[in-house]
Structure 1
Amino acid sequence: MAAVNQVLASEWTKIKSVRSTVWTLGIAVVVTVALGALISALSKKDFDNLSVEDKIRFDPTFLSFAGMGLGQLALIVFGVLVVSNEYSTGMIRTSLAAVPQRGVFLFSKIIVATLLAFVVAMITSFVAFFVGQAMLGSHKAHLGDPGVLRAVFGGGLYMTLITVFSMGVAAMLRSPMLSLGILMPFFFLISAILGNVPATKKVGQYLPDQAGQKVMQVVTAGDDAPYGPWGGFTIMVLWVVAALIGGYVLLKRRDA
């Protein structure tokens, strides 16, 4: 147990000593909150011009998280850098020599980074909600309204899982450039296309980001997804578990 604690402490030291990983978390907070506030303010101004159908579908809680799509970009970078930085610098050989139990090494790194991402994500989600609702004025939702607390808490969980998924992918690919070269188009291009093209929409609904975002929605009018908020969250969890298993298996089989 003492050895595991030492590895955890070592991983924490690695994360906080690399400025790029710390900055990415700060950027995630600023972008998510600022963009969500801007879109909320613009939506308030345009609310009276919405059609009756759009007013029925209006989800003030989910609107607060409008910046999360861009904010998750920074979290993806954070997750990739936490795992793959040591490969790009060659320090992975030293780390594995110090911690030959590769499972302990990998999951200690993931545990520390996940806890940090969780704290940042929860703060971001709640701040984005309160700021966004302030911008919406009379159209705002309240934390005590049905489904709102679940959605805000779910926003933090979603951002955390995006980070963990990125770490799993980075563990499989080992290269930061290759990992980002796959994850960025996947979340910002491929997923959007599959989710908006009628022929592939049913496939897109089961991608990790689209499924996971359901937990942040309160108003579901017009939503044809075959699962609810926690069903979508479960699908995202399965993607994350698969990525972590893949990363662990490949780390065990390959040389550093």
Structure 2
Amino acid sequence: MSTPQPSLQQAAPGAPYAGYTSPIPVVRTHLGHALASEWTKIKSVRSTLWTLGVFVVLVLGIGLLAGALVAANTSTESDLGGQSALSLGFFGLLLGSMCIITLGVLTTASEYGTGMIRTTMTACPTRGRVLAAKALVFFSVAFVVTLVAAALVAFVQVGMVTGAREPSGGEWLKATVGVSLYIALLGLLSLVVGSIVRHSAGAITIMIAAVLAPLVIAMFMFASSLEDVRQSLFEYSIPNQMSVFYANSLSESGPSGWDPLWIMLGVTAAAFAGAYALLEKRDV
């Protein structure tokens, strides 16, 4: 005797099937979801730990070493030329900025190298939202880490170099918050360049050249007819703009006060607009 088989109800041609309600709530995606996704990425990849770890080591190591050497060889305010000990933090942050540049490039370009960008864009088809989320998450991380490292070095250096001039409140603000904003924007510019170039090594090379090339080129401009160009390269080079935050500019003219921050903000905004336009036109 055969076992009766359960009958399958077939829908008539044109008749709708029974509805299905998913237990997973369906919500409209927004920027917060993209931010959560990018935060998960940046905190879980090893490149973040390595680049930020080396950055902190460079800033703290070089900063404390410079403070110890100056403290051992100065006794009066005149020995530092009337400057405060905050200016000693420049050297560590200049080298450490290479780490922030590298991390900024990897935040975008590495996804193109691995093909992960296709998954990202499938999960969030709004490409501008993806770029904005990457920029916000990276900028926040870079700024906080730089601020903590710069402030720690500044406090230690001021305490170590007893013969230096006592820095004012404005100098404290520029040597901590100001320079941290500048380096975070420099890293954000690297992120945007990585999105444009879509190649990690190429984008890192471009950014390192942007930091060092103007200063190196200016050093070999000996002709008097190129004096104006040479002076402009010195004044607007990234190392000189960073030194402005420590009231220790490499040139007597050029940017001053908070000018370097506005310059970097304008350049980054223009690059971001270009990256957004290309992202909307090109295939992933």
TM-score after normalising by structure 1: 0.87
Choose from 269, 272, 275 the match for 1:241. Answer: 269
Q: Percent identity?
A: 32
Counterpart AA for 2:210: F
Counterpart AA for 2:109: S
Is the aligned partner of 1:151 residue 2:175? yes
The alignment partner of 2:81 has SS state of helix
Q: Say whether the 8 Å CA contact 2:127–2:280 is kept in structure 1.
A: yes
Q: Say whether the 8 Å CA contact 1:33–1:124 is kept in structure 2.
A: yes
Choose from 129, 134, 140 the match for 1:109. Answer: 134
Assess, with a 3 A threshold, how the Cα gap between structure 1 residues 218 and 186 changes in structure 2: closer, same or farther. closer
Is the aligned partner of 1:91 residue 2:87? no
Q: Separation in 2 of the partners of 1:160 and 1:252?
A: 25
Q: Separation in 2 of the partners of 1:145 and 1:4?
A: 37
Q: Which residue of 2 aligns with 1:164?
A: 188
How far off is 1:201 after superposition?
2.5
Q: Which of the two has greater helix per residue? A: 1
Q: Separation in 1 of the partners of 2:161 and 2:83?
A: 12
Counterpart AA for 1:250: L
The alignment partner of 1:255 has SS state of coil
Q: Which moved more, 1:104-113 or 1:228-237?
A: 228-237
Q: Which residue of 2 aligns with 1:39?
A: 66
Q: Which residue of 2 aligns with 1:175?
A: 199
Counterpart AA for 1:232: P
How far off is 1:209 after superposition?
4.7
Number of residue pairs the alignment of both structures matches: 250
Q: Separation in 2 of the partners of 1:80 and 1:3?
A: 25
Counterpart AA for 1:87: Y
Q: Which residue of 1 aligns with 2:224?
A: none
Structure 2 matches for 1:1-256, cutoff 5 A?
2-47=29-74, 55-56=80-81, 58-139=83-164, 141-142=166-167, 144-187=168-211, 189-194=212-217, 196=219, 199=227, 200-214=230-244, 216-218=245-247, 223-256=251-284
How far off is 1:235 after superposition?
1.1
For residues 165-210 of structure 1, the C-alpha deviation after alignment (integer angstroms, 9 at most, x for no partner) is: 11111111110011112222332x3133245556313133224453
Q: Say whether the 8 Å CA contact 1:32–1:124 is kept in structure 2.
A: yes
TM-score after normalising by structure 2: 0.79
The alignment partner of 1:185 has SS state of helix
Q: Which moved more, 1:11-20 or 1:198-207?
A: 198-207
Q: Separation in 1 of the partners of 2:166 and 2:184?
A: 24
Assess, with a 3 A threshold, how the Cα gap between structure 1 residues 137 and 67 changes in structure 2: closer, same or farther. same
